[in-house]
Amino acid sequence: MADYTSQKIRRAGDWSGSFELCVMSYDERFLRRKVIKTAQGESLLVDLEHTTSLDHGDAFELTDGRLVEVVAAEEELYEVTGNLVQLAWHIGNRHTPCQIEDTRLMIQRDKVIGHMLEHLGATLREVSEPFTPEGGAYGHGRTHSHEHVATAHEH
């Protein structure tokens, strides 16, 4: 049995005062019903109405009203530099989640995508940082179909 239960999400900027936090990877932040561990080792049953994509800074609202902050975990990524517009187009064309910044792109490490980007003139650097890619074009976060396509390259 879980120590806590949450059936509601509060979006970043719409809350304050968490008493606990959960450090979660990008893939772990896409869920509907799951038991997860807090930073203090407590179990939290997340039981949402719909599958939801969570962002860094969102919070789980517990049944008693307290909040548990969602923190993006450090992940093994490629920092991509070069012609960012061209490279972002190729990354997006393959439905690969991408964190877009002014001077670099960040993607999860994938040898196939990495090789393609290097062939296009990109410079790749392996880094370990929190991963907070752009949301989908049709609303907040991810959709099932894009999530499926994104994981097809993980072999």
Q: Span 4-72: which CATH code?
A: 2.60.260.20
pLDDT, one tens digit for every residue, the chain (155 residues): 889 999 999 999 999 999 999 999 999 999 999 999 999 999 999 999 999 999 999 999 999 999 999 999 999 999 999 999 999 999 999 999 999 999 999 999 999 999 999 999 999 999 999 999 987 544 445 544 344 333 344 33
At 46, phi and psi to the nearest 5? -95, 125
Residue 151 identity: T
Distance CA 69, CA 17 (A): 9
Paired tokens of 147: 């999530």
Distance CA 125, CA 117 (A): 12
CATH 3.30.70.790 holds for 75-151: yes
Whole-prediction pTM: 0.81
Distances (CA, A) of 76 to 6, 114, 127: 29, 13, 6
For CATH 2.60.260.20, the residue range(s) in the chain are: 4-72
Identify the CA nearest to 131 among candidates 85, 59, 79, 88: 79
